[in-house]
Structure 1
């Protein structure tokens, strides 16, 4: 076999092995070292079994990942998210927004979506948002006689918005993989993120207006809540979290701090917020640190494995084979984007977003110049596309998170059915962005020039 054929065999074996549930990071490292030993084998210069350049490559890749300035923001943002999650703010936030939006059709669903979006943006942890909102908002909506599919779909869709709306950990990982400016990525993702959340809100209100049985209007209380009380509720629930998010994001976008510095500010702000809500205990702090270290280690070892694997894959000529194959298809830029997004959409069924971004997206990155596709634009499309990986059967993780804590009478098929309309809105957002690219480029160009 030729080296390029071995590279393709290497990729095929990796896909085959991970389908059996082997740990992806360690599979990448093992295959990278195993095939790399063959690729770099030199019998004339070899003095002992470990005298092979693959071990030097592995050590260098590990050091490069751990010293990457962009990736240092990940543990800090994760810590901010975990500590905010334990600050007991979500129940107050949902109650306040539910009262504030009570005159809107589907008011409780609107409040749930806004709470999900804000909390998901602050934490970036889809499972935590969906689980917590499922415990808090779902029983309230079911008690108000909301349709089960309608209620569960809102929570599943809202909980995924944190991987798109900055400060998004997913965009940090993409920036590290592609070499794209994280500041420009954040600026480019703002309008698409709010546009998608806006489409969700339009759908919720529109469905509730067309079919009031899906979301019965809450009965008005005999004694309306005083305006001053409502303002105080907003000041003590909505604004603290919103100010924390805007402070972190503003510091990055306006160049006041690097992403790592802004993430450190956010982590400190999360601690202050938890202390202000009297939720900062030793056990919660220890648990937040443990979860942060565990998740960060997973992401970093995925990077180590991926970069080792991809270096060997490229050295054997696999990247050139993929390039020649794609060029031979004679596709237009639109056809290439559709093919790439279809592959990423399908990969979202068995894989997490982190694995897709770290392992498979780098395969597409060298092809972007051939079709004149900007990595910034491509990254925003991927961030939108990966919303569907949490919402599309059979491996819609948001649905499984929610099913795990939902009442027994809520079936998984009902959650799937409730989530599917939001998948359609994700595709609509992607079509709008391709048709009107300035939705991505306008803010980065306005703030930082071309």
Structure 2
């Protein structure tokens, strides 16, 4: 077999192992080192070590000489260097800080106050409880960026209240599932940090580029929720006085000040300091983590147990991301050295695709990968395969990254592997069936597709803010 054929076999075996359920990070590392041993094997270096073995035969040194001959392969140097590169990456330093901010905010009892306040403030709007749940999801998802946490917490908080208010179970479930995934796209998104580290695109420009598409998607969601509430009042009945009590204007203003403004100020402070160049993403994430602790203390929700849980979850998630990067860098270096990347590049270029056709093909592949894989695995492992082709098709990596972030919304919403639906089903009342949740997310899936089409037709939705803030 030729080296490129071995590279393609390497990729095929990896996909097989993924579907068999092997841990992805360690599979990447094992296959990278295994195939890399073959790729970087130097017989002369091996035999030089074994010549020394003959000279020291019968002595204790023969074992050390044998090990020296076995490990005398550049793949081990590559693995160590890639590990050091990942651990010293300044962009990835922001990941644990944003994660810690999210986990602290999740445990600060802010969300229940926020939902109650928005529910009262929007009671005269069609689908008021759905609108309140969606805005709460958007703010909470922006603060945490952790889909499972947002969907689970909002499912425990908002879904029972919406069902009690006679909302259609499918409609209510769709609102929570769709709103919970917004943290992938809206800054400060952890996914965009990971994409920036994988693609060498400025994280500041990515955040600026993602802001308008994120707000566009939230706007489409709100239009759908209010439009359906008007056209089908039975799906979202107006709340009664018992369900949403009348509150004096002064008290409502105080509720907004104490529940909505602190979280909104924290998000705007973190995001604004990044966009206006007042702080690096790492420095802003540090401010956000400190602000999350301050909010938890102010709301009297900070306990030693919650702090310990937040630190543990932060370390666990950060370790997963970093080891995925180490495995991916090692795997991709060997794959490229064997010529696999060149084969894929030549194959795609030989298809004579237009840039739009290439974008659609890439997004369809990422959409399908979103069924069995998490977003982190797609961004770290598979997106780098497409990145070298962007220059050939004259596609801006910034635009491609925002498209991917939008596309990954669908991976959480598309049956049969819609993870947000399974998160919600795990904590929903027994009468809410999985098929109802699947039916409820489909209109929101259509909103995501519409927003992607709008980006294809009007790319300035992505480029306007980066060009305004930082130039072309």
Same fold (TM over 0.5): yes
Give the Cα–Cα distance (whole angstroms) in 2 for the partners of residues 13 and 38 of structure 1: 16
Alignment partner of 1:407 is 2:429: yes
Structure 2 residue runs of 5 or longer lacking an equivalent are 50-68
Number of the residue aligned with 1:6: 6
Name the counterpart of 2:256: 234
CA contact (8 A) 2:145 2:190 kept: yes
Instruction: Identify the residue that residue 84 of structure 2 maps to in structure 1.
Output: 63
Which SS does the other structure have where 1:224 is aligned? coil
Residue 245 of structure 1 corresponds to 267
Alpha-carbon contact 2:217-2:447 (below 8 Å) kept: yes
- Listed as ranges, the matches of 1:23-422 within 5 Å are 23-46=23-46, 47=49, 48-220=69-241, 224-422=246-444
Q: Secondary structure at the match of 1:387?
A: helix
* Deviation of 1:220 (Å): 3.7
| Structure label with greater radius of gyration | 2
Q: Structure 2 CA distance, aligned partners of 1:223 and 1:148?
A: 23
Task: Give the match's secondary structure for 2:123.
Answer: coil
User: How far off is 1:31 after superposition?
Assistant: 0.3
Question: How far is 1:329 from its partner?
Answer: 0.4
Could you report, residue by residue, the CA deviation over 1:146-179 in whole angstroms, capped at 9, with x for unpaired residues?
Answer: 0010000000000000010000000000000000
- 8 Å contact 2:120–2:245 — kept in the other structure? no
- Specify the SS of the correspondent of 1:19: helix
Residue 18 (structure 1) aligns with: 18
Once the two structures are superposed, what CA deviation does each residue of 1:97-149 show, in whole Å capped at 9, x if it has no partner? 00011001110000000000000000001000000000000000000110010
Secondary structure of the 2:115 match is helix
Aligned residues between the structures: 450
CA distance in 2 between partners of 1:88 and 1:225 (Å): 21
Q: Distance in 1 between matches of 2:228 and 2:246?
A: 27
1:378-410 deviation per Cα after TM superposition (whole angstroms, max 9, x unaligned): 000000000001000111110000000000111
2: distance between equivalents of 1:139 and 1:327? 52
- Unmatched tracts of structure 1, length 5 or more: none
SS, match of residue 45 in structure 2: coil
Looking at structure 2, the residues matched to 12 and 224 of structure 1 have their Cα atoms a distance apart, in angstroms, of 62
Q: 1:153, 1:188 → 2: CA distance?
A: 27
TM-superposed deviation, 1:223 = 7.1
Partner deviation per Cα, 1:402-435 (whole Å, 9 max, x = no partner): 0000001111111011001111111110000110
Change (3 A) 1:223 1:406: closer
Counterpart-to-counterpart distance in 2, 1:421 and 1:219 = 27
- How far, CA to CA, are the matches of 1:420 and 1:65 in structure 2? 38
Aligned mates of 2:442, 2:74 — CA distance in 1: 49
**In structure 1, how many angstroms separate the alpha carbons of the residues matched to 2:230 and 2:245?**
26
**Hey, what's the Cα distance between the residues in 1 that align with 2:245 and 2:410?**
43
Q: CA deviation at 1:365?
A: 0.0
What is the TM-score with the length of structure 1 in the denominator?
0.99
Taking structure 1 as reference, are residues 223 and 371 closer, same or farther at Cα in structure 2, changes over 3 Å only? closer
Cα distance in 1 between the residues matched to 2:467 and 2:245: 50
Between the aligned partners of 2:212 and 2:285, the Cα distance in structure 1 is 21
Distance 1:371 1:128 in 2: 38
Shift of 1:224: 3.1
- What's the CA shift string for 1:12-49, capped at 9, x where partnerless? 00001100110000000000000000000011012311
Matched, 1:445 2:467: yes
Per-residue deviation at 1:53? 0.2
Q: Distance in 2 between matches of 1:327 and 1:433?
A: 24
CA contact (8 A) 2:29 2:331 kept: yes
